[in-house]
Structure 1
Amino acid sequence: MDNGNGGPNAWGDDKFDLKDKLPQLNFKGPGTGLLTIVIIVAWLASGFFIVKPSEQAVVKRFGSVVRVVGAGPNYHLPYPIDSVDKAEVTKVHRLEVGFRTTRAGVKSLPQEALMLTGDENIVSIDLSVQYKIIDITKYLYNVHDVEGTIMDIAESAIREVAGREKIDDILTIGKNRIQTETQKEIQAILNSYGAGIQVTAVQLQDVEPPQEVVNAFKDVASAREDKNRYINEAEAYQNEIIPNARAQAETMLQEAEGYKQNKVSQALGETARFESVLKSYRAAPAVTKKRLYLETMEKILAESDMKIFDSNIKQITPMMGLNRALEGGSK
């Protein structure tokens, strides 16, 4: 705009003509329309994408979540309108606390592994955590640096659980309980963050005292194992000997009962015989006494080795071998 003096006005609002500034550019050439169509088609085609079978994808429009799509070919509006984020939702992910597995082997990380127990001892615990994604939207956008967050949570949880336990239980009988409690602690914290993650397993890979005292702890553990072995052997012996003793006791009771019945039967028989004799004696005392005497002598003589000789006999045939019997005082 002219200010009346043939130049630009004081406000600097003179007209700006692109044709004056870029006289060499020609926007009306014969190939311009085709090029524009190609660019538009290519831009629209950039919205096609593939989701793998193990993945899910989140489509965002101007930064806001629009939908979640599963495996297969899909389409979203081209950038910068829509964008896509993917994650593997069927894979079980694994993290390590206190150590790292490398191609060269296992590397220990004492700064993560060493922790204080409830009875004020130091123990080294290597821990692995397995998890999977159950809500991809929460997983992608609610927590920054998911793996680092889970690592920090797992380390904090195992320290808290170990701080409630005695070192003997940690090294021996308490491992399963510690794994379960640690998994619950990790899951509770992740749920409070809305992380969209499910912890599937927590495993104590290696639990041991510091190297300075490891031999002493091994001796204690060995003694405890011996104790448990002796207890098991004693219980096995008990389980074997008690049934045998009960069987023997039952046999003895049965034998005693049989002996009792036999003696009772004998006593009853003798009683009946005595009563019969008594009845006979009362009926004929002299005859009964004579009969009893003869029966008794019959039994005695039948069991005795006796020889009876007439005192008037002076000579006995030698073949009978009786001279020696006479000399020996036999009668």
Structure 2
Amino acid sequence: MNWDWDKLQEKRQRQQGQNPPPRPPRDQDDEASERGEPRARRTPFGKGRQPDGNPFNRLSQMRVPKGRAVILVVLAVVVLWLLSGIYIVNPDEQGVVLRFGKYDRTEGPGPHYAWPVPIESVYKPHVTQVLRSEVGFRSVGQSATFQQGQLRTIPEEASMLTGDENIVNVQFSVQYKISDPVQYLFNVSAPTALVRNAAEAAMREVIGNSQIDSAITDGKLKIQSEATQLLQQILNRYGAGIQVIAVQLQDVHPPQDVIDAFKDVASAREDKSRIINEAEAYRNELLPKARGQAAALRNQAEAYNATRVRTAEGDASRFDALRQEHAKAPKVTEQRLYYEAMEGILSGAKDKVLMDGAAAGRVLPYLPLPGLDQPQAPRGPEKK
């Protein structure tokens, strides 16, 4: 029927003196249909013909409309795009979510969801990791050790001027971590360089207020503490979101040209300290001993004084009592005093000789010579 309509159109155009439009190409199926023959079915593998009873012909007839296929593809792409917003924050991280480039929220550890790019984007900085910045030197290799053979000195960073106008080389490191991830990500563009530059500025100020002797010997702890506080104040003014854990001095020494002279000065200072300590030890040993002896002598003098005073007072009281008794009975008191005196004299003598008055008038009294009462050593045998 379609072919008759086409012939009729061509005939009309010839009658009107027009050229017939070109016919669209027809395949063998159309020609077979014009002849009343059944159409051969195309297989999905090419132009080969297969009988109508083959199952591949049935599958080729079950075609999905093009509009519905496009919708399914779009839905699959949308689903995959939405699923790409699932993310996981590790325990040592914090998730910072931006919506259209502006900060929106902060998420803790665990699984979370954010609208996929370009609506939202997620940054996950390590907030518990301790970072390290080196000033005045650089560690060589992956392992950050502090051995002299594995360090590379940076003279322009290490050379500093002390308060007494001496040059000293200071090598130190800074340990820090992220305290505020939002400030750390968006307030500064190069946080590592910021920490290094701020640490160098803080250390230069602290060293500039210190003496070289203090920086080299016993003032390192004070310098580290002051540098840590000053560096934290600088980073807080910048709003860097960084917490300074510690500033550690690795090596503090004078320039290489004068290091021998400084070593001699340090040795002399150590000798001076040693001698002073020895003198103080001798003084601490001698002074308490002298104070003890002085206190003992003072106590003995006070005791002797108290004894003499009490004895004198007792003798005076006794004499006053005797005086009163003598006034009442002179002869009896004198006789009593005589007896007491003789008792005291005779009680101290070992040998006593008693003689009556007649015998005492005829003998010569004598006093015992020293050594007569001592036993004499036995004599040895006489020689013939």
TM norm structure 2: 0.63
Matched AA of 1:76: A
- Corresponding residue for 1:155? 200
* Aligned-partner Cα distance in 2 for 1:175–1:32: 73
Worse-matched range after superposition: 142-151 or 83-92: 83-92
How many angstroms does 1:71 deviate by? 0.8
* Aligned-partner Cα distance in 2 for 1:185–1:85: 30
| Aligned: 1:61 with 2:99 | yes
* Aligned-partner Cα distance in 1 for 2:233–2:348: 104
Q: Deviations over 1:45-93 (max 9, x none)?
A: 1111111111112111221111111111111111122111121112222
* Aligned-partner Cα distance in 2 for 1:270–1:36: 133
| Aligned: 1:91 with 2:91 | no
| Aligned: 1:121 with 2:159 | no
Matched AA of 1:85: Y
* Structure of greater relative contact order (alpha carbons < 8 Å, 6+ residues apart): 1
- Corresponding residue for 2:295? 250
Structure 2 CA distance for partners of 1:143 and 1:284, relative to 1, 3 Å: same
Q: Deviations over 1:282-313 (max 9, x none)?
A: 9349x76x949x8499569948999x9x899x
- Corresponding residue for 2:211? 166
* Aligned-partner Cα distance in 2 for 1:179–1:202: 6
How many angstroms does 1:145 deviate by? 0.9
* Residue pairs, 1:35-114, within 5 angstroms: 35-102=73-140, 103=143, 105-114=150-159
Worse-matched range after superposition: 82-91 or 297-306: 297-306
* Aligned-partner Cα distance in 2 for 1:265–1:299: 28
Residue of structure 2 aligned with 1:201, choices 243, 246, 251? 246
Q: Deviations over 1:125-162 (max 9, x none)?
A: 11111222121111001101100111111112212221
Residue of structure 1 aligned with 2:224, choices 179, 202, 206? 179
* Residue pairs, 1:19-34, within 5 angstroms: 28=66, 31-34=69-72
* Residue pairs, 1:165-314, within 5 angstroms: 165-271=210-316, 280=326, 283-284=330-331, 291=338, 295=342, 298=345, 302=349
Q: Deviations over 1:238-290 (max 9, x none)?
A: 555544444433333332222223223433454456557766599349x76x9
SS in 2 for 1:94: strand
* Aligned-partner Cα distance in 1 for 2:84–2:310: 112
Matched AA of 1:201: A
Name the larger-Rg structure: 2
- Corresponding residue for 1:316? none
- Corresponding residue for 2:44? none
* Aligned-partner Cα distance in 2 for 1:167–1:101: 26
Structure 2 CA distance for partners of 1:153 and 1:301, relative to 1, 3 Å: closer
SS in 2 for 1:59: strand
Structure 2 CA distance for partners of 1:254 and 1:32, relative to 1, 3 Å: same
Matched AA of 2:312: A
* Aligned-partner Cα distance in 1 for 2:198–2:177: 16
Structure 2 CA distance for partners of 1:236 and 1:298, relative to 1, 3 Å: closer
* Aligned-partner Cα distance in 2 for 1:183–1:38: 56
